Amino acid sequence: MGILNCTPDSFSDGGRHLEPEAAITGGLEMLGHGADMVDVGGESTRPGASPVDPVEELRRVVPVISELRNARPDAVLSVDTSKIEVAAAALEAGADIVNDVTAGSTPGMLDLVAEHGAAIVLMHMRGEPRTMQTDLGYRHVVAEVHGHLIERAAAALAAGIPRQRVWLDPGIGFGKDDQGNLALLAALPDLASHDHPVLVGPSNKSFLGRLTGAPVNDRLPGTLGALIAILGIPRGVVRVHDPASAVQFLDIAIRVREASA
């Protein structure tokens, strides 16, 4: 899954795809470089980010999704939002997936996704982007995060979303400390054991910078190292800023894994 941030303030690529023309070109390039899907977002969820007015978020994402759908009818498109009005408009414009950092907690969100026959990514986040890094303490981070996701998955199933369309994301970098992020990556097989697709998004995150000392634009090696955690996960998805590099890395890693079997 390629990350297409149509924002001025995202931590890694803010401003690069703010204008619709640049975003459409960027999305098509990602698909051309091997991305299976593109995730279009109009509101930054970096630590400390402020909310965006729904009207502005709609202006940023809907034209991009519509044009990508027209240009690539075969592509899988996702909208990164927790606002029901944005999700509704994006689904009408051609999105297949709602990627929700609040795990579908907005009233009506799960019903909306079910009505459209779409998929939803349920991500774990403590608090909201402005506050999520203020409380990083867990008694058992893996058990607590997985427990929350399974509860939200049960709500999605009850709303009528098929199991294969309910994806779980542990929320790497969203309200966890460095060891918590590493523990959640290591525990992906346990999360996958609940028979849902699993998505993980470590791309360029600040914990990689703290662990390696690399600035945000030099974290591709660390990102690729974190992707090792997805190997062997059935229906595993990685959300990355550089799909071409991730595709090449995972292709070789999978070949090596298969050769050793």
Is 205 catalytic? The answer is yes
What would the two tokens of residue 14 be?
Answer: 């803010």
Contact between 35 and 76 under an 8 Å Cβ cutoff? The reply is no
CA–CA distance, 29 with 11 (Å, rounded to integer): 21
CA–CA distance, 235 with 221 (Å, rounded to integer): 23
Angle subtended at Cα 150 by Cα 147 and Cα 154, rounded to the nearest 5 degrees:
140
Q: Active-site residue among 46, 83, 126, 205?
A: 205
Report the run of H or E that residue 251 belongs to, with start and end: helix 243-259
How many Cα atoms sit within 13 Å of 259 on the Cβ side? 6
CA distances 5 to 43, 115, 179, Å, are: 8, 26, 27
Smallest CA-to-CA distance from 206 within 231, 174, 229 is with: 174
CA distances 206 to 112, 133, 190, Å, are: 33, 11, 25
Contact between 124 and 148 under an 8 Å Cβ cutoff? The reply is yes
What would the two tokens of residue 166 be?
Answer: 């309910």
**Residue 72 buriedness (CB in 10 A; 0-12 / 13-18 / 19+):** middle
Q: Active-site residue among 59, 239, 255, 257?
A: 239
Is 59 catalytic? The answer is no
* Size of the chain, expressed as the number of residues it contains: 261
CA–CA distance, 74 with 105 (Å, rounded to integer): 30
Catalytic center residues: 205, 239
